Amino acid sequence: MALLSALRPHRRPWSRGRVAVGLLALLAGALPTVSADAATPTSGSVSDTAPTYTWSAGPFAVPNVTGTAGTVTCGSPQLCDDHALKVSVPAGYDAGHSLRIDVKWPDSAADFDLYVLGPDGREVAASASSSDPETVLLPAVSASYTVRVVPFAPLGDSFTADARLVTNPAAPPPSTATPPTYGNSSAPGSIKDAHNAGEPSIGVNRASGAAMFQSYTSTLKVTYDSAGTATWQDKSATAAKGCPQGSTTSLDPILFTDPDTHRTFESQLAGKTALTCYTDDDGETWTPTGGSGINSGVDHQTIGGGHFAPGGPGAVTSYPNAVYYCSQDIADASCAVSRDGGLTYGPAVPMYSLLDCGGLHGHVKVAPDGTVYVPNKGCGGNQAVAVSEDNGLTWNVRPNPSSTPGDSDPSVGVGAGGTVYMGYQNSDGTARIAVSHDKGKTWLYDQNVGAGLGIKNSVFPAVTAGDDNRAAFAFLGTTTGGNYQDSANFKGVWHLYVATTYDGGQSWVTVDATPTDPVQKGSICTGGTTCGNDRNLLDFNDITLDAQGRVLAAYADGCTGTCATGGAQNFDALASIARQSSGSTLYGAFDAVAGAKYKKSRGGQ
């Protein structure tokens, strides 16, 4: 997760998935000082008749970490390698093709970054994670670029780069399903943190029907009447309600409501521990807990839960489900499991190290059979899920080979039969989703769900599932292409979109859930604490279901007041929920009898 404004302490830029800059400097000091060999050759081209081109440069010994401050600086001793690349293709070639540039190196502990500059020197694309290779995708149009490779942590390595014109995957037939519609509500200004709601999380107590919304140190309860009108109430965890560590300060907030037990957890990050409490009565009272496993990470924590996997130790109290706390540290990311309803946790177990994955992981999700999933936006050259089938004892990283690393956390939803849906922002900015029936070992139906609406950039994927063949994928999107993080020049208008499948992910119907109210105008920065005021929305949104399978998407509205009616962007972060108001839900049992009483808990989330 991330922090909003100077009112909160800035965290290390883990969004880059990097070891600390001081450690890199130490490594640099241990290496001989040598100058890098210039790229061979110094320039090149690709065309529709000669679609592949390769070059290399190095070795590099001195790290260039200037990008952690927001802008890469080149020049001795902070070296960069700039390479001229010309693209020559016929008009219209980009309709079915993309330009793909990959940079790779031999030592997996090293790290290079990739930037692409246009003729005017402005950045048009970048891949600055710890993925190997670093990859960018651009429209295949005639253009002249400068490909800049920056040795972030070179460790004496050289790199090899290649540019290719690739054929875009064929789009599946569009869905014929009736598009659902959404109604939107926002917290009244009288509620604390109503306008401080970057990276919200949401759950629903399926017994009471209340939605629980977390932003910063505030936990809000949202109830809906029969007409769909929302009432917002502050139910934050405070000392007066039994949680002395709640609602005070946080490096990162998170909320999770178990769909089976209806227990809601509210957690605030504090170094390698979490200040966590839970409520069984929608925030009327709270119970303090041990918070997290030892030795947990210091950033981007997530809490989730569900059934225990069979064959191992299960619950040690009357609370039936497992609770997982996962977080990131400098060199790895780990998960700890609670067997007593979240009161205490066992030791944190590494899911992966920086040699496997970098960047930020997404939210933990638990399948009905107890399989645990934590998605990551950069594992090697792909996005992936870390998977545990033994209650968090061991983990395997399983990539989606059709994906390329992105700048937003991916998200997974798991259907009632165990089908996994992974939604992600691809390296070209598009919103894509894929399906797995074997716990992430293979992936099917990978597709761009925004193509039919002309969406060219997306951020903040959030996925949920109900019946095994039904899922929803929410994201912020804009029909404007180009570098959406260019605060001076990007002019896109962003809306909240929700894509829904009713056939197991073979096809999706995508709707604008905020058609008359932009969520943001201009740039959205996903570069961590190096950003300016366009990081008002922080790092992610969230999504969940109610007992009838209605979709509820939590988001921060960054364009309010006069901005929403045609004025300038005001960089707000208003707590908001888009709730499904018509159309088939994610539980087919409610298709035939509208408003039928929900009889039992479903397994999807």
Q: For 88-105, how does the pLDDT look when each residue is reduced to its tens digit (9 = 90+)?
A: 999 999 999 999 999 999
How large is the average pLDDT for residues 521-533?
87
Reported as a pLDDT band with limits 50, 70 and 90, residue 434 is very high
Give the confidence band of 264 by pLDDT, cuts at 50, 70, 90: very high
Task: Give yes or no for residue 476 having a pLDDT over 80.
Answer: yes
Q: Tell me the whole-structure pTM to 2 decimals.
A: 0.89
CA dist 445 and 121 (Å) reads 38
Residue 139 is predicted with a pLDDT of: 93
d(CA 235, CA 247): 10
d(CA 134, CA 140): 19
Cβ proximity of 65 and 84 under 8 Å: no
SS (H, E, C) 508-575: CEEEECCCCCCCEECCCCCCHHHCCHHHCCCCCCEEEECCCCCEEEEEEECCCHHHHHCCCCCCCCEE
Query: Using one digit for the tens of pLDDT, what is the confidence trace for 480-521?
Result: 999 999 999 999 999 999 999 999 999 999 999 999 999 999
In this structure, what DSSP letter does residue 375 have? E
Confidence of residue 130 (pLDDT cuts 50, 70, 90): confident
Question: What is the pLDDT at residue 604?
Answer: 56
Cα dist from 86 to 24, 102, 150, whole Å: 34, 16, 20
As a whole number of angstroms, the distance between CA 153 and CA 352 comes to: 20
Q: What is the pLDDT of residue 12?
A: 27
DSSP annotation of 7: T
Instruction: Characterize 105-135 residue by residue with b for buried, 16 or more Cβ atoms within 10 angstroms of its Cβ, and e for exposed.
Output: beeeebbbbbbbbeeeeebbbbbbbbbbbbb
Each residue's pLDDT tens digit, 301-319: 899 999 999 998 899 999 9
Reported as a pLDDT band with limits 50, 70 and 90, residue 15 is very low
Q: For the chain, what percent of residues have pLDDT higher than 70?
A: 91
Average the pLDDT over 424-432 and give the result. 96
How many Cα atoms occupy the beta-carbon half-sphere of 312 within 13 Å?
16
Residues 151-205 have pLDDT tens digits of: 999 999 999 999 999 999 887 888 999 999 999 999 999 999 999 999 999 999 9
Looking at residues 527-542, what average pLDDT do you find? 89
How high is the pLDDT of residue 47? 97
> Averaged over 32-44, what is the pLDDT?
68
332 pLDDT band, cuts 50/70/90, is confident
Which tens digits make up the pLDDT trace of 211-238? 999 999 999 999 999 999 999 999 999 9
How much is the pLDDT for 89? 97
pLDDT in tens, 277-297: 999 999 999 999 988 887 776
Report pLDDT for 539: 93
Which domains, ranges and CATH numbers included, belong to the chain?
A: 43-167 (2.60.120.380), 169-192+437-546+559-594 (no CATH)
| Confidence label for 359 from pLDDT (cuts 50, 70 and 90) | low
Which pLDDT value is given to residue 594? 41
Nearest to 430 by CA among 364, 491, 482, 506: 482
| pLDDT tier for residue 584 given thresholds of 50, 70 and 90 | very high
User: What is the secondary structure of 90-114 as a DSSP string?
Assistant: -TTGGGTEEEEEEEE-S-TT-EEEE
Q: What is the pLDDT of residue 36?
A: 60
Q: Which residues pair with 413 in a beta bridge?
A: 421
